[in-house]
Structure 1
């Protein structure tokens, strides 16, 4: 047994070995480098659990690598800590050193190694609050000239002091124990993660697949719309700002049926004045910002191709957004993708108008999109106060 690991076991009164087995060759293969030997032996001896400073003024949670789709991965459990440190480093590179590798956490702060040596046994420890969890004037990152196990020894003996881990140094309630193991059965359950799954929904044959006017005319007939939109987008501007041509059926749709809600579910709004008139992505700025912060999602975001471009929102028990899965090919062949706020995804093998026809007819076998009971097939929003208008004349819906 590693000398430092033995010392930590004696200090904490821990006996035995962990029942959790980590295949380090798999973990190292996914990382592309090896992790320090004292850390690996630490996890062979100690089960998942929490180490406490005297008086419980600080704690460090140490757990083996989680599993993602059945494969052990060091980074899965630390996505939030890594993202927060990276975001702060982009704006304040002087605060956060390069080469941070996570290995533990403490509530909000993350505990990392600093890779300043090709030899992992020479890596030192850093604690970071990510910048956003700072207390008063505490630093964003504290570095310690020691490895992982020596850091834990300093923590449980009280010889190590950290303003990031214990900014107030106030004692906390709880039994005065230096190490508290977790229930391994519960840990095995919550540490087994799965990548987001995409439900594939086929609507081919259930709705007209003709792009352009014929399909839009069918939709207008189904929802009973006979008027004219008060706002007609300038698609040349929108496509120039986007850098891509958009599907024909979407453009004809908004030239035929104005902004509104379909089946009480899907809200379709044209790109109007959002800082730059005609800016489709500007209409969904917050959506794109939120999606950019989600690491574990099955699709990339535009401008990466294939990538998601938003075009509508939907409501219900699970709300979310509708996208095209855009590529460099024919935009009339782009499928529609629905993303729910609960992390669920569905991909439809049709375009915008065919999807809306299936929705309002109640012929859409979807867990995310289904007509709201009692709601009309379509409700226009162009008569609401402040609705955009750039046409001189219009006919109201009959």
Structure 2
């Protein structure tokens, strides 16, 4: 069996998913995509593995987790700024990194798009949320998912108890509700409100601890203050 078959057996995909128009998606992105990712996205649809690991999807319910939305470009710009300004080391050329997933801790997953015309040979990198640590998996996103969900591979940036509740996939809500806005003094920020907004817009955000800067930026860009 292939890695995708093994993944389906380990974590059965939900029923009733809608396939994407991959020719249109690739035209929009201006690049080809890995075959395994397209199979993965068509089988599972938008959502999260173990309530933690999500991949960007062209049919995502919000632009914040849309493969063709604004987030991949914004994240790559931030990486370039980090590299140029020496804020954090970036072990790969930011222009060769394409953001394609996010975790509940705010870590981002990237394709290392080398060579650009051979997507089935791309490897996967994981970056610590606004931090210096990186992890590289010498294989596809399906290989990484299978290795992590089966317990064969441990990613240091992922929580140790990731598999404690079992292996499962939870589809995204098709139409997440717009969270209520709360009036507060200018300049003050409510962590609870930001978390509520982020989850309603497709982000996986931890219940405690630091909220990733990218989520705060998105919250502000949506007109919140």
Using structure 1 for the length normalisation, give the TM-score: 0.39
Deviation string, structure 1 residues 294-342 (Cα, Å, up to 9, x no partner): 89xxxxxxxxxxxxxxxxxxxxxxxxxxxxxxxxxxxxxxxxxxxx982
Match of 1:148 among 96, 119, 141: 141
User: 3-state SS of the aligned residue for 2:152?
Assistant: coil
State the 1:143 CA deviation.
1.0
State the 1:28 CA deviation.
0.7
1:74 aligns with 2:68: yes
Match of 2:92 among 90, 97, 115: 97
- Structure-to-structure mapping, 1:116-127, within 5 angstroms: 116-117=114-115, 118-127=117-126
C-alpha separation in 1, matches of 2:175 and 2:61: 14
* Residue 78 (structure 2) aligns with: 84
User: 3-state SS of the aligned residue for 1:143?
Assistant: strand
State the 1:22 CA deviation.
1.4
Q: 1:341 to 1:148 in 2, by over 3 A?
A: closer
* Residue 177 (structure 1) aligns with: 166
* Residue 36 (structure 1) aligns with: 34
Q: 1:147 to 1:341 in 2, by over 3 A?
A: closer
5+ residue gaps, structure 2: 179-216
C-alpha separation in 2, matches of 1:155 and 1:106: 13
Q: Determine which structure has the larger strand proportion and give its number.
A: 1
Residue 26 of structure 2 contacts residue 32 of structure 2 at CA under 8 Å; is this kept in 1?
Answer: yes
Equivalent pairs, count: 176
Residue 47 of structure 1 contacts residue 181 of structure 1 at CA under 8 Å; is this kept in 2?
Answer: no
Residue 100 of structure 2 contacts residue 110 of structure 2 at CA under 8 Å; is this kept in 1?
Answer: yes
Q: 1:20 to 1:184 in 2, by over 3 A?
A: farther
User: 3-state SS of the aligned residue for 2:125?
Assistant: strand
* Residue 160 (structure 1) aligns with: 153
C-alpha separation in 1, matches of 2:7 and 2:39: 12
C-alpha separation in 1, matches of 2:91 and 2:143: 22
Residue 111 of structure 1 contacts residue 125 of structure 1 at CA under 8 Å; is this kept in 2?
Answer: yes
Residue 39 of structure 1 contacts residue 149 of structure 1 at CA under 8 Å; is this kept in 2?
Answer: yes
Q: Determine which structure has the larger helix proportion and give its number.
A: 2
Which of structures 1 and 2 has the bigger CA Rg? 1
State the 1:150 CA deviation.
0.4
Residue 101 of structure 2 contacts residue 109 of structure 2 at CA under 8 Å; is this kept in 1?
Answer: yes
Structure with greater contact order relative to length (CA < 8 Å, sep ≥ 6): 2
C-alpha separation in 1, matches of 2:222 and 2:139: 42
Using structure 2 for the length normalisation, give the TM-score: 0.65
